[in-house]
């Protein structure tokens, strides 16, 4: 079991600030996922936790003990990298046993741990094979098994599925989810740019941007209650639609085309009435027989089987994306109106932060 605490953690490379004061508490047994765009600092933050990079400022503690100066081998942490990093001349068994053998562990204990890990990861029948005789997914499971045999307090995963094809990604993701269930007291931190992995694996997601934490929360909390425009646009696929709007009398959000949404908006202290951004997710939009919230011409139709995505030009620069039923017969060039449940709308101020809303009332044309 391991509780982790990062307090104002910073990392600089020369004059470049990469991690800019991260505060984060991770409870023992949690599955935490770091997500964010390329260059946001998620892998660097993971390497700081592992001890592979030196912390430039702030403190990192495991179970209350500050470990800034502690070498990686003494932190009780095992890391699984994007590349499998297996020894090609060793069998699966030898690869999984290597760390324990190097530490001169008892042979009986080594064998017990290797076979236990192999059983957990469905690798027992492959123990005598070389890595070149395995699929990509099997190799990644061997790399995970090698970490399991060390019986770590904390597991770190650095984009472990990015080298796999789509089918193997799904299968290996399921194996990692099962692994977490079988090791409920082991803390796991997982880095990915794939929000599907984040949403399906995480107890809590940490959204990073430019070396800072934008929001921390359970997957559905981030989905339903994003704190700012960045999180709202990053979580969800396709991304949330954003439309420029304004607050009129304090209770009405007005779109540029004159449509209005009667709203009860709690303005932040000191905020002025004026420009805002209205957000709505593609899956929360539906075709409307009346005027609706948005009206425009269908520019593109994407048939994905289960769902159909339509891109609607409403004259706002960027098209509005709506996710409809897979059997939808909408065609390019058609004129459509889209509506949404007012409770599914999001309002963001000029600073990009979400307004807390007690209620959004009925839409008015």
Position 89 pLDDT exceeds 80:
yes
Give the HSE-up count for residue 176: Cα atoms under 13 Å, Cβ half-sphere.
32
C-alpha closest to that of 227 among 243, 238, 213? 213
Of 11-25, 85-99, 238-252, 268-282, which gets the smallest average pLDDT? 268-282
Q: What is the pLDDT of residue 356?
A: 63
CA distance 114 to 60: 31
SS3 53: coil
Q: What is the pLDDT of residue 363?
A: 40
CA distance 346 to 269: 19
CA distance 35 to 234: 9
Position 93 pLDDT exceeds 80:
yes
Burial state string for 95-108 with b = 16 or more CB within 10 A and e = fewer than 16:
bbbbbbeeeebeee
- What pLDDT digit, counting tens, does each position of 152-208 carry? 889 899 988 887 777 778 888 888 888 888 888 889 999 998 888 999 999 999 999
User: Higher pLDDT residue, 18 or 82?
Assistant: 18
CA distance 253 to 265: 9
User: Higher pLDDT residue, 229 or 149?
Assistant: 229
Question: What's the burial of 359, exposed, middle or buried (CB within 10 Å: 0-12/13-18/19+)?
Answer: exposed
Q: What is the pLDDT of residue 322?
A: 96
Position 361 pLDDT exceeds 60:
no
CA distance 184 to 29: 5
What mean pLDDT value characterizes the chain? 87
Q: What is the DSSP letter of 267?
A: P
CA 15 to mean position of chain CA atoms: 29
Domains and CATH numbers, the chain: 4-232 (3.40.50.300), 238-364 (2.40.50.140)
SS3 35: strand
Q: For 159, left (φ over 0), alpha (ψ -120 to 50), or beta?
A: left
Secondary structure (DSSP) of 135-202: -HHHHHHHHHHHHHTT--SEEEEESTTTTS-HHHHHHHHHHHHHHHHH-TTSEEEEE-S-HHHHHHH-
Confidence of residue 258 (pLDDT cuts 50, 70, 90): low
Confidence of residue 263 (pLDDT cuts 50, 70, 90): low
CA distance 273 to 128: 69
What average pLDDT does this structure show over 122-130?
Answer: 92
Confidence of residue 265 (pLDDT cuts 50, 70, 90): low
Give the HSE-up count for residue 278: Cα atoms under 13 Å, Cβ half-sphere.
28
């Amino acid at each position: 079991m391991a509780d982790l605490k990062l307090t104002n953690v910073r990392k600089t490379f020369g004059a470049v600030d990469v991690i800019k004061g991260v505060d984060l508490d991770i409870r023992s047994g949690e599955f935490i996922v770091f997500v964010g765009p390329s260059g946001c600092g998620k892998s660097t933050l993971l390497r700081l936790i592992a001890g592979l990079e030196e912390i430039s400022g702030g403190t990192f503690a495991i179970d209350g003990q500050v470990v800034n100066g502690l070498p990686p081998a003494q932190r009780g942490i095992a890391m699984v990298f994007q590349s499998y990093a297996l020894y090609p001349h060793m069998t699966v068994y030898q690869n999984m046993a290597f760390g324990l053998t190097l530490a001169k562990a008892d042979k009986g204990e080594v064998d017990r741990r290797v076979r236990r890990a192999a059983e957990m990861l469905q690798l027992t029948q492959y123990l005598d094979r070389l890595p070149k005789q395995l699929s990509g997914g099997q190799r990644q499971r061997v790399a995970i098994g090698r970490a399991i045999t060390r019986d770590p307090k904390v597991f770190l995963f650095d984009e472990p599925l990015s080298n796999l094809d789509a089918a193997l990604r799904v299968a290996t993701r399921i194996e990692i989810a099962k692994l977490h269930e079988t090791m409920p007291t082991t803390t796991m931190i997982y880095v990915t740019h794939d929000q599907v992995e984040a949403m399906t694996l995480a107890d809590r997601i940490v959204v990073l941007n430019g070396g800072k934490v934008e929001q921390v929360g359970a997957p559905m909390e981030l989905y339903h209650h994003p704190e700012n425009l960045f999180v709202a646009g990053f979580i969800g696929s396709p991304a949330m639609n954003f439309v420029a709007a304004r607050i009129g009398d304090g209770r009405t959000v007005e779109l540029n085309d004159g449509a209005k949404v009667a709203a009860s908006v709690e303005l932040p202290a000191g905020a002025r009435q004026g420009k805002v951004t209205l957000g709505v997710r593609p899956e929360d939009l539906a075709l409307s027989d009346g005027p609706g919230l948005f009206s425009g011409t269908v520019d593109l139709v994407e048939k994905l089987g289960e769902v159909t995505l339509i891109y609607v030009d409403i004259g706002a620069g960027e098209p509005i994306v709506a996710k409809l039923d897979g059997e939808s017969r909408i065609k390019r060039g058609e004129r459509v109106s889209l509506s949404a449940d007012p409770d599914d709308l999001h309002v963001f101020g000029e600073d990009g932060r979400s307004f807390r809303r007690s209620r959004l009332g009925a839409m008015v044309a």
